[in-house]
A and B are shown apart, each in its own frame.
Chain A
């Protein structure tokens, strides 16, 4: 019993310590962004890997989610005779919640894990130490471009997701179920406000991107130096980042409506 309590105590201390380290790590990344030169080439490469190569996944997911939303919301709204507000319902749920959150989760699985694995592999093959010995800061050279690229692509991917989702629901509602296209779009237009909805969506996805960039690079940078350590770090990125994104979503939603 005592031992268990002791272990619990040690584990919690370890957790707190790690949070401190992550915050310091984040500070170092932030500092690195202000220190010239900005690594444009690596940044663009990371934008390509994390962003451009995720577009297909985001499009496919966005349009399918749009289809499902179109069907489900149509059926629900039809019970109240409010099918005409399909555009409103779809638009608000996608823009405020589903777009940023689902994009965050998808990019975590697709790009966040890859970045952790890449940095982890560099760590265990001493490439990071090699950089240090050449007086090149691996946080500036390797971590910063990847973390900033994740934060940069997340809002863009989220916007694509939302656009495709709205189109998917349009296809189902208007083309398949025979709603009036004009009223779908009019409902959407009148319901969506810039500050309350669009800005919230962009800010959310930016924050998810920052969180993912921090977690994915930290996990790789601090992974245990063996292959099992890399795979554990990769899994942990997906789990931790997903939970953080969902939690942050709740907090941001709550704060935004205050």
Chain B
């Protein structure tokens, strides 16, 4: 069982990914050894004993989880289990009732706005609804963080903005207002804004929902690339089972106010009926397929 889980771990996330290079795989193996540098280091984002309730509705009760540096963590869980709320908490937009949240060592829950601003300079966030400023053009929206926080010239900014817009597959949208974009375009424009400042940590709320298959692949490749080549710590929430399982180094399944954490393979081999039910037939099949492929490759 253990052997299977290990083999699965090494193989699952990137197996079959078109962009996976030998180099990438090699580094991946190393990262996934039993004690790795990344694991030995404290989590890039640490959530400890967090409790939160909205009135009578308890969202978290003693939630503990870690998001390791330079890894892709996928948050899963049914609708309303608090995935977006957890991301908001990491960004300091929502204070927990109890417990602590640390981002790169900085305590979030007691910081004031000025302290939070410092942390947020290292964070990028894609909101579930995009949250672009609707009175500004797409170009100005994406350029905004650069204009605010860097002293780049307008032409440097324009280059960077166009580069990021192209990376998310948006061309000729500069002068459109967010209201004139489709849902999928809006989300991609928002992603371009979130990555334009090259954050260390990227929080993505449902980056794939509402996208057509080519764009799902494009965004997946982009996020994977940012993670692999820039060492971006990525925290993604997603209902997109196949994509998440392919990308994830760790999967965190939120439920009952807490979370179950594991590599995709560990979750796949879990005997917990609730987990199996959540992963569904597709997810489990996908995982065991990847697992056996990897095992085949090893053997």
Q: How far is the CB of A255 from chain B (nearest CB, A)?
A: 36
- Is B93 engaged at the interface, CB distance under 8 Å to the other chain? yes
Please give, as numbers and ranges, the residues of chain B lying within 8 Å of A7 by CB-CB distance: none
A130-B145 CB under 8 A given contacts A135-B117, A135-B121, A137-B117:
no
B145 near A134: Cβ-Cβ < 8 Å: yes
The interface on chain A, measured as residues whose beta carbon lies within 8 A of the other chain's beta carbons, has a size of: 13
Most chain B beta-carbon neighbours within 10 Å: one of A126, A129, A131, A133 = A133
Q: Which of B123, B129, B134 contacts A133 (CB 8 A)?
A: B123
Q: Does B132 belong to the interface (CB within 8 Å)?
A: yes
Q: Which chain A residue lies CB-closest to B148?
A: A136
Give the complex CA separation of A131 and B131 in angstroms. Answer: 9
Contact A133 B93 (CB under 8 A): yes
Decide if B148 touches A134 in the complex (CB within 8 Å).
yes
Contact across chains for B120 and A132 when beta carbons are under 8 A apart: yes
**Among the interface residues B91, B121, B129, B133, which one has the most CB atoms of the partner chain A within 10 A?**
B133
Q: How far apart are the CA atoms of A137 and B123 in the complex, in Å? A: 15
| Complex contact A125–B131 (CB within 8 A) | yes
Give complex CA distance A132, B125 in Å: 10
| Contact A127-B133, Cβ < 8 Å, known A134-B144, A136-B144, A136-B148 | yes
Residue contact B125 to A133, C-beta cutoff 8 Å: yes
Cβ of B271 within 8 Å of any chain A Cβ, yes or no, is: no
**Which positions in A face B, CB cutoff 8 Å?**
122, 125-127, 129-137
CB distance from B115 to the nearest CB of A (A): 11
CB-defined A-B contacts under 8 Å, sample of 22: A122-B133, A122-B134, A125-B129, A125-B134, A126-B127, A127-B132, A129-B93, A130-B125, A130-B132, A131-B133, A132-B116, A133-B125, A134-B120, A134-B145, A134-B148, A134-B149, A134-B197, A135-B121, A135-B145, A136-B145, A137-B113, A137-B117
A127 lies within 8 A of B117 (CB): no
Beyond A134-B144, A137-B113, whether A126 also contacts B129 by CB under 8 A is yes
Task: Determine the distance from Cα of A127 to Cα of B197 in the docked complex, in whole angstroms.
Answer: 18
- In the complex, which residues of chain A have a beta carbon less than 8 angstroms from the beta carbon of B144? 134, 136
Q: Would you call B88 an interface residue if the criterion is a C-beta within 8 Å of the partner chain's C-beta atoms?
A: yes
A132→B193 CA distance, assembly (Å): 13
> Inside 8 A of A136's CB, which chain B residues have their CB?
144-145, 148
In chain B, positions 163-210 with a C-beta closer than 8 Å to chain A are: 193, 197
* Residues of B close to A137: CB separation below 8 A: 113, 117
B127 touches A129 (CB 8 A): yes
A127 → chain B closest CB, angstroms: 5
- Contact between A130 and B133, CB atoms less than 8 A apart: yes
Whole-angstrom CA separation of A136 from B197 in the bound complex: 13
- Apart from A130-B125, A133-B120, A133-B127, what are 10 other A-B pairs with CB-CB below 8 Å? A126-B129, A132-B91, A132-B92, A133-B93, A134-B145, A134-B193, A135-B116, A135-B121, A135-B149, A137-B117
Q: Which residue of A lies closest to B121 (CB)?
A: A135
